[in-house]
Structure 1
Amino acid sequence: MAIEYTPGPLLDAVRQFPTALWNDSADPDELRQSIAFGGVGATCNPSIAYTCIKQKADRWIPRIKELAEEMPDVTESEIGWQVVREMSVEAAQLLEPIFEEHKGRNGRLSIQTDPRLARSADALVQQAVEFSQLAPNIVVKAPATSVGVKAIEEATYRGVSMNVTVSFSVPQVVATGEAIERGLKRREAEGMDVSTMGPVVTLMAGRLDDWLKIVAERDQLFLDPGHLEWAGIAAIKRAYQEFQSRGLRARILNAAFRNVLQWSELQGGDLVVSPPFKWQQRINASDYKPVSKIDEPVDPKIMNTLLQIPEFVRAYEPDGMTPEEFDTFGATRRTLRGFLEADNDLDALVRDVIMPAP
């Protein structure tokens, strides 16, 4: 069936520039509309699955009950993750025509590895391989930690298109982009095909902004608070330049949307922007005119403010952190804890369905 596109700033932008639009949700209704806006990808994880179950309880609550009957020996967590798998497969099917048209570069559904496996590279690789087999157009998320860097390279070598997550800084993006590149080159050296692989490296721009705001409050910094809204943008622009100069084949993906700058300032780049659906609606209802800004530097006054914050410098300079320091970076710990809490929320939801309180 042909796609009926929705005119507006989003469609104008994706037709004018190589900047790709992905939907930060696997909800099928949202995804269909995002595709009509020009969207070519989407994502799923326990937090998204939890939200979808709550919003579409009439469909998913009965399915959880069925899964509990079909798999009487498994844990609540295993039932919850089976729902994540099923949601992901459904969303992936909506994107398959785009995947085929773009020969693997777009049309992908991103599914996240279980954050409870984040301490084991082998476990992350095994789950990445398993998830990649759910549908031909799956891209698998693994964290930009010291363990994750190893898993990302190995999973790429095994043919998994990877999406880096829990990533907020230029050094994390560069380290994982290079890990993907090593994995691709290992495959090529053994005569294996990489032509249809579609790896991306996420920089969670909004979560870097969030962390620096916490740091500014913690350290009682006297600065223009509006300048902190540009931290993630500055990091992505620097990371994009690094990828271009290093010849890395993975694309940067902007996530953790906080403001429209994360759309407008990245236009023109060969990268991915993944706003929540509500932001897509907001942008498309505006009078925004797409302009290429990826190569425009952030205002020097703003950069002067940001570069006075040591935590920003660590996040901005390509060698600002070692992989071991990724693990203790404040945004990393906050985000991993949040993902673990989302796992717990999904477990609790399943528990309430299969064993309601008396």
Structure 2
Amino acid sequence: MTLTVEPPTAQASQLPLRIAAETTPTSLWNDSADLDELTQAISWGAVGATCNPVIALTVIKNHLDRWVPRIRELAEEHPTAGESELGWRVVEELSVEAAELLEPAFAEHGGVNGRLSVQTDPRLHRDADALVEQAVRFSRLAPNIIVKIPATRTGIAAIEEATYRGVSINATVSFTVAQAVAVAEAIERGFARREAEGLPVGDFGSVCTIMGGRLDDWLKAWAAKNRVLIEPGHFEWAGVAALKKAHAIYTERGYRVRILSAAFRNHLQWSELVGGDLVVSPPFDWQRRINENRIPVDPHAIERPVDPRAIDTLRARVPEFTKAYDEDGLAVEDFERFGATVRTLHQFLDADAQLDGVVRDVLLGPA
């Protein structure tokens, strides 16, 4: 499947995403490294993108004519490599190609934007040293690479060390204000160690993702399991509320890292954040829908509080929301046991296994 890329036009300049990207501090990133989609997103103002096993799996399936022969070539070039190693080589190639498209934005924004996120292998989530070593290696694939590390207890330690070693971080598997604060403080500790040794800290572009839609999903699943009914629509504000609160804390404390909104389930996870110095990273189809529906651009949306009735109801009826919304709602040692974390790690690990399976079918043929 090949996307027909629309060239920039005067009409395109009036699209909501483009308006927000050009007139507010809010940065647009594309939640995919598919080159066709990224090229189109750049025309709408995107200045960043993401690759991971889930995305690589989708790109391979959508472009079998290209990637099946390339996997076979990689197998010839690396005759002892297993399917996992070959699959991750595809992830790396996809990432480098997408990073090249973002080089102009990287130069224009002084390294703050123009970044391509590469996710560390989710199978390393219990090994901080392994996460750091892979992060350092990925960061050398291209000058504008930013590396995803999960915001678990192990990941927080890896984030500090990788920052110290010069890696720009995108904290992932992150859903709560407590995780966002722990990530920011870990990055600041890494910076402090660099500064103590006279190493530069001005060329980083680190972000902390809050997967707002996945938080909403978890709260709905918890409520269903516990037979809790609340007013329809309140759940759709949970992720937005956490994102707004984390952004306010970052702004107040001057952390040298930005919040990133990801895992879209509704347009509020973009439209309610416009105006903030943060990143929104919608999947490509969500970008198309936002533009097609001409969602209004409010440059002060980030300052608008979430309806207190939604916050109060969620607090009273769904204690998992309080864990996500309060700065002290979770201790670091509880990050990896939070329901949204468990569900997401399972999905990332499953995608890794599916990527192995695709490579295995290319090498051996279908069973």
**Which category of TM-score, normalised to the shorter sequence, fits these structures?**
over 0.9
Give deviations 1:142-174, integer Å, cap 9, x for gaps. 000000000000000000000000000000011
Match of 1:281 in 2: 288
**2:236 paired residue number:** 229
Q: Which residue of 2 aligns with 1:48?
A: 55
Q: Deviations over 1:211-270 (max 9, x none)?
A: 000011011112113100000000011111111122211000000000010111001000
Query: In structure 2, what is the equivalent of residue 298 of structure 1?
Result: 306
**Could you say what secondary structure the match of 1:212 adopts?**
helix
Aligned residue for 2:3?
none
Aligned to 1:116: 123
Offset of 1:288 from its aligned partner?
Answer: 2.5
Out of 217, 238, 248, which is 1:241 matched to?
Answer: 248
More deviation, 270-279/294-303: 294-303
Alignment correspondent of 1:82: 89
Distance in structure 1 (CA, Å) of the matches to 2:237 and 2:49: 25
Query: SS of the residue aligned with 1:225?
Result: coil
TM-score, normalised to structure 2's length?
A: 0.96
Q: Does 1:330 align with 2:339?
A: yes
- After alignment, is 325-334 or 219-228 more displaced? 219-228
| Higher alpha-carbon deviation: 186-195 or 103-112 | 186-195
Q: 90-99 vs 219-228, which deviates more?
A: 219-228
Task: Measure the CA separation in 2 of the matches of 1:148 and 1:114.
Answer: 12
Match for 2:269 among 238, 258, 262? 262
Residue-pair matches, total: 356
Which secondary structure does the structure 1 equivalent of 2:30 belong to? coil
Alignment partner, residue 346 of structure 1: 355
- Decide whether the 8 Å contact of 2:271 with 2:296 is kept in 1: no
Deviations along 1:248-295, whole A, 9 cap, x unmatched? 110000000000101110010000000011111111122323102111
Letter in 2 for 1:80: G
Q: How far apart are 1:210 and its partner, in Å?
A: 0.2
- Name the structure 2 match of 1:137: 144
Equivalent position SS for 2:234? helix
**Distance apart, 1:44 and its partner CA:** 0.2
Supply the distance in 2 between the matched residues of 1:91 and 1:205 (Cα, whole angstroms): 25
Give, in whole Å, the separation in 1 of the partners of 2:169 and 2:34.
21
Matched, 1:104 2:104: no
SS at match of 1:163: strand
Query: 1:36 & 1:230 partners in 2: Cα distance?
Result: 30
Any idea what the Cα deviations from partners look like across 1:48-74, whole Å, max 9, x if unmatched? 000000000000000001111111111
Map Cα deviations across residues 79-120 of structure 1 (whole Å, 9 max, x no partner). 000000000000000000110111100000000000000100
Structure 2 gaps, min length 5:
1-6
Give the aligned residue type for 1:83.
V
Is residue 2:362 matched to residue 1:320?
no
Q: What's the % identity of the aligned pairs?
A: 61
Counterpart Cα distance in 2 of 1:46 and 1:116: 11
The whole-number CA distance in structure 1 between the counterparts of 2:157 and 2:166 is 15
TM-score, scaled to structure 1: 0.98
Match of 2:222 among 215, 228, 239: 215
Match of 1:202, SS state, is: strand
Q: Give the letter aligned to residue 157 of structure 1.
A: Y
